[in-house]
Structure 1
Amino acid sequence: MAESRLDFIQPGHPLYEGELELRFRVLREPLGHTRASVKFPFEHDSLHLVLHADGAVLGCVLFHPEDAHGGRLFQMAVDPTLQGRGYGAKLVLALEDALRGRGFRHVHLHARAPVVPFYERLGYAVYGEPYEEVGIPHRNMQRDL
């Protein structure tokens, strides 16, 4: 694999379709959801950070600003063949650095139950009661930047 890069993109960027495909394969297809379920109504208002090499999207994480101080991290995905190698942490940390530079002070997210420990290692704390989203158990998590 060529050296990977992290870049912010927007819908319409040449890597955007690859981002959508990765999000579908990692986050929706295993749950039996359709490709149409990948897009969010606020795609165009969100930051899209992608990890890519040779034109292929290997990972992504999105952030939707909810006010001047914070918002929601969502659609975090890493190619299954690359999971467990630190790419997810690299994506989240790079996003957080960019958010700090833009004046954001806090982030929250809806974590699937199996990945709660991943986010805890990055400084996120669980709050509230467990709930179901997209048919699987989730926990709310947050952290100050």
Structure 2
Amino acid sequence: MNTEYSFFQIDFGSPDYDEAVSLRNKVLRIPLGLEFTEEQLEEEWNQLHFVLRNSEDKTIACLIFKIENSDVLKMRQVAVDDSYQSKGCGSKLVIGSELWATANGYKKIELHARDKAVEFYNKLGYVTVGEEFIEVGIPHRSMEKIL
């Protein structure tokens, strides 16, 4: 498997966005018996969308930033294609998004991590905040990182 990856910001509603939604659906929603509604996707029009692509220009990982305020972004919908998990792609995606956030004046990133992802975010410098809670039917933890 080729290990060259490229980080991109993509536009809401574009073919790239549709590819990212398909990946998010496959990795995050279908395993829980869920699918995106049109209303949920329409709410993403003013959010920031990022992808990691392989050398064949296929989207292999994606995430979204929701702008909370001029200093804070909420990272959401982080997904890595199953065949690229545990190969550093998620880290490359998150680090790329953090560099973008810093370059654009943001000071902090917040997120809700599924329990199984907490260790991944800890390794990238995120810390847990508060108690465990249930979201989309599974345990999550609030996490944050000061940039």
- TM-score tier (shorter): over 0.9
Superimposed CA distance per residue, residues 85-115 of structure 1 (whole angstroms, 9 cap, x where no aligned partner): 0000000000000000110000110000011
- The answer to whether the 8 A contact 1:20-1:39 is kept is no
Name the CA distance, whole Å, in 2 between partners of 1:51 and 1:101. 18
The offset of 1:61, in angstroms, is 1.2
TM-score (norm 2): 0.92
The 10-residue stretch of structure 1 (48-57 or 94-103) with the greater mean CA deviation from structure 2: 48-57
Unaligned 5+ residue runs, structure 2? none
Q: Which runs of 4+ in 1 moved over 2 A?
A: 1-4, 35-42, 53-56
Equivalences for 1:19-58 in 2 at 5 Å? 19-36=20-37, 39-53=40-54, 54-58=56-60
Unaligned 5+ residue runs, structure 1? none
Q: Report the count of equivalent residues.
A: 145
Name the CA distance, whole Å, in 1 between partners of 2:9 and 2:97. 9
What letter is aligned with 2:7?
Answer: L
Picking from 88, 91, 108, the partner of 1:89 is 91
Name the CA distance, whole Å, in 2 between partners of 1:73 and 1:17. 19
What letter is aligned with 1:73?
Answer: M
Distance 1:79 1:26, change over 3 A: same
TM-score (norm 1): 0.93
Distance 1:55 1:14, change over 3 A: farther
- The answer to whether the 8 A contact 1:108-1:140 is kept is yes
RMSD, aligned α-carbons: 1.7
